[in-house]
Amino acid sequence: MVRDTILVFRRQLRTSLRSPAWAVIGMIQPIVYLAFFGPLMRNLAKAPGFPANSNSWQVFVPGILIQLGLFGTSFAGFGIIADWRGGVIERMRVTPVSRTALLLGRVLRDVVVLMVQAAVLILTSLAFGLRAPVVGVLVGLLFTGALALSLSAFSYAVGLRVKREESFAPMVNVFVIPSMLLAGMLLPMSVAPRWLNIVSRLTPFRYIVDATRDAFLGQFETYEFLWGVLVAAGLCVLTVYAGIRVFLTENA
């Protein structure tokens, strides 16, 4: 399975390298947020409920990182729909390649591409004024990679089930937009009204965002950081398992 996963990963990575424009386009939105929304956060740093002992960039950049992971991999299912329609999945099915590797190779490619985008985003953030401990930044990248792995696997599973772009697109949009707003990716939910703060805890991404912000602040012993680790690990296990089950049944 490991050998097959590497083979699928290399094939998918070559496909991405032949069309690098998509990776560049995926970077435009977060950089636009950095340039035009980030400066607005400076005055909010004095608002009640804003994380103490932090500057605006230590709060804003982690949210943008998670947003990059959310948008960068939630739409990965479009690729599997195109492969299914083009007969790629059918041709793979008649080979001895592991069915699990068909998923893991694609997911690994998505994680690698997203991590490169995240690294570029962090380097760009340094020019805007981000200052954070190196260990915290690395931990934040791990959270971003875990989210990418989870959402990529889930997106491929849904895409392979739905098999129609016109059905897949609205499903993803209904999922992505509320998740972004409720998770507090742009603004910390600690400054939100109490009822909205409570509702936001129903989405798992809230815990990952809070944990990433704690990491950028160098705070690794908080309950928010622990919950973020547990939620990120749980999402990885559940979504990868669900994705593998779909690939096994669809290619049986």
- Distance, in Å, from the CA atom of 158 to the CA atom of 81, rounded to the nearest integer, reads 10
Looking at residue 52, its pLDDT comes to: 65
Looking at residue 49, its pLDDT comes to: 66
CB atoms within 10 A of CB 1: 11
Looking at residue 45, its pLDDT comes to: 66
Question: Which residue ranges in the chain fall short of pLDDT 70?
Answer: 45-54, 251-252
- Distance, in Å, from the CA atom of 101 to the CA atom of 89, rounded to the nearest integer, reads 12
Cα-flanking dihedrals φ and ψ of residue 46, to 5°? Answer: -95, 0
**φ/ψ bin of 48: left (φ > 0), alpha (ψ from -120 to 50), beta (otherwise):** beta
Q: How many CA atoms lie within 13 A of 244 on its CB side?
A: 14
Looking at residue 15, its pLDDT comes to: 81
Looking at residue 47, its pLDDT comes to: 67
| The model's pTM | 0.89
What's the structural domain count of the chain?
Answer: 1
Looking at residue 240, its pLDDT comes to: 93
Which structural domain range is residue 11 located in?
Answer: 2-250
**Per-residue pLDDT tens over the stretch 134-154:** 999 999 999 999 999 999 999
